């Protein structure tokens, strides 16, 4: 995640900020956090740092057991994040548990409502914040994952243009055989349902048609597609439904197409990463007899970044807005900008981002 002339980077179990290198120097790491749970590639979690309008950066943890510490702040007690996600203040270094728990995908709207992604539950609303729960003394740590709401029931089917790969058909047959032998009354679906949802992100740009504003885009790396949800208020929470019946926002016939993460950009368009490779699943999810025949590193040197551009954009912007040169009065006016990237409460890119804290109080 870009932050004040540098990057916020995760390299589990470490989380740090690094300054952008000059021509003759390597990046310098600062603000290091330790204690993030490690996992297998494609396994339980990826932190997915996201800036909220409250100046905290929210991170996914999927409820894994971990204790966050900071060598820069030895006075800070270890933060237990078992059963939760976490958040931290990049200015003070303070960290605390956050409601969740997300696997890979976390996005916040203009009012700091948080929506998270889990591989089989592609969109969920975090209804109650941890700090509220603790203040009310009504929830224990292990129950934080229960205060989020599945927004699309029943679980939404997918409409891929690709069929399941041969190894997946074989795995489904093996699992179904065990379910039948054990009389569990479980039916294993080989395809057509979310199994690897990731990267859910709210579109808050200004180039797409207006009906796209506030939509949540989620990739499914096993289905080689991008799903779009329209979200609407539903009492104290929200409900979601697919934008179009029977079809996805984007789908590929290439089984190596793996759209996994998204970003809004200053030009108003939506960018996404394709971790282009043959196999996306963690080896732990594949039976050993099948695992022996698979090269899990096939394609690990590949990958792409795409930009989604409408045929008739509402605005044509660029990628060099130079907010660092804007004075405080001009920053204040940007709070009304329809492009979320340009609003001081949403833009971690500006060199003067710390000044934005004044406008959010």
* Better-predicted residue by pLDDT, 55 or 203: 203
Is residue 138 scored above 60 in pLDDT?
A: no
Percentage above 90 pLDDT, the chain? 35
Q: Phi, psi at residue 211, to the nearest 5°?
A: -70, -15
Angle value at C-alpha 341, between 309 and 117, nearest 5 degrees: 80
Q: Is 291 strand, coil or helix? A: helix
Give the chain's mean pLDDT. Answer: 82
Q: Which of 44-48, 78-82, 172-176, 277-281 has the lowest mean pLDDT?
A: 44-48
Structure confidence by residue, pLDDT tens digits, 33-91: 877 776 655 555 678 889 888 889 998 888 888 888 888 888 888 988 888 898 988 88
Q: What is the mean pLDDT of residues 5-14?
A: 80
pLDDT tens digit sequence for 217-267: 999 999 999 999 999 998 889 989 999 999 999 999 999 999 999 999 999
Average pLDDT over residues 124-149: 57
Indicate the SS3 state at residue 353: helix
Dig out the tokens for 50 from the structure: 């996201």
Question: Other CB atoms closer than 10 Å to residue 303's CB: what's the count?
Answer: 13
CA atoms 204, 20, 18, 13: torsion sign: positive
Average pLDDT of span 14-25: 69
Write the pLDDT tens digit of every residue in 307-331. 999 999 999 888 888 888 888 898 8
Q: Which of 67-76, 100-109, 207-216, 352-361 has the least mean pLDDT?
A: 352-361
Confidence band (pLDDT; 50, 70, 90) for 284? confident
Identify the pLDDT of residue 252: 97
**pLDDT score at 18:** 74
Average pLDDT for 296-312: 95
pLDDT reported for residue 212: 96
Question: Once rounded to an integer, what is the mean pLDDT over residues 204-216?
Answer: 95
d(CA 302, CA 315): 32
Lowest mean pLDDT, pick from 9-23, 101-115, 304-318, 325-339: 9-23
Q: Of the spans 16-30, 38-52, 120-134, 209-223, which averages the highest pLDDT?
A: 209-223
At 21 the pLDDT is: 64
Collapsing DSSP to helix, strand or coil, 323 comes out as: helix
- 347: pLDDT strictly greater than 70: no
Mean pLDDT of the 275-294 span: 87
Local confidence band at 10 (pLDDT 50, 70, 90 cut-offs): confident
Q: How confident is the model at residue 348 (pLDDT cuts 50, 70, 90)?
A: low
SS3 category, 218: strand
Higher pLDDT, 203 or 360: 203
pLDDT computed for residue 223 by the predictor = 94
Closest C-alpha to 86, from 77, 69, 98: 98
Poorest-pLDDT segment among 43-57, 163-177, 186-200: 43-57
Dist. CA 83–CA 85, nearest whole Å: 7
Q: Give this prediction's pTM.
A: 0.86
CA nearest to 199, candidates 92, 45, 34: 45
Given a contact cutoff of 8 angstroms between Cβ atoms, the answer to whether 20 and 44 are in contact is: no
């Amino acid at each position: 995640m870009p932050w004040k002339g540098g990057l916020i980077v995760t390299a589990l179990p470490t989380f740090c900020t690094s300054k952008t290198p000059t021509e003759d120097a390597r990046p310098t790491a600062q603000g290091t956090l330790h204690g993030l749970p490690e996992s297998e590639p494609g396994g339980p979690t990826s932190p997915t740092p996201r800036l909220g309008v409250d100046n905290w950066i929210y991170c996914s943890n999927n409820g894994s057991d971990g204790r966050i510490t900071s060598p820069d702040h030895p006075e800070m007690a270890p933060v237990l994040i078992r059963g939760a996600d976490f958040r931290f203040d990049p200015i003070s270094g303070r960290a605390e548990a956050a409601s969740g728990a997300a696997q890979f995908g976390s996005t916040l709207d203009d009012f700091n409502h948080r929506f998270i992604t889990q591989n089989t539950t592609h969109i969920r609303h975090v209804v109650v914040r941890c700090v509220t729960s603790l203040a009310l003394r009504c929830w224990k740590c292990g129950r934080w994952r229960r205060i989020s709401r599945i927004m699309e029931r029943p679980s939404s089917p997918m409409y891929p243009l690709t069929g399941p790969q041969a190894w997946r058909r074989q795995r489904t047959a093996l699992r179904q055989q065990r379910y039948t032998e054990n009389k569990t009354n479980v039916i294993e679906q080989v395809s057509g349902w979310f199994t690897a949802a990731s990267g859910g992100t709210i579109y808050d740009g200004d180039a797409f048609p207006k009906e796209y504003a506030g939509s949540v885009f989620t990739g499914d790396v096993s289905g080689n597609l991008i799903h779009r949800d329209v979200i609407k208020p539903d009492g104290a929470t929200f409900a979601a439904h697919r934008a179009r019946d029977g079809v996805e926002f984007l789908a590929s016939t290439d089984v190596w197409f793996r759209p996994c993460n998204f970003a809004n950009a200053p030009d108003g368009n939506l960018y996404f990463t394709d971790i282009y490779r043959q196999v996306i699943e963690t080896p732990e999810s594949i039976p050993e007899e099948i695992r022996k025949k698979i090269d899990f590193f096939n394609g690990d040197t590949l990958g792409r970044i795409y930009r989604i551009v409408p045929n008739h954009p509402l605005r044509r912007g660029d990628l060099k807005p130079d907010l660092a040169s804007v004075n405080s009065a001009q920053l204040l006016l940007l709070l009304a900008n329809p492009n979320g990237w340009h609003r001081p409460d949403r833009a971690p890119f500006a060199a003067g981002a710390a000044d934005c804290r004044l406008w959010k109080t």
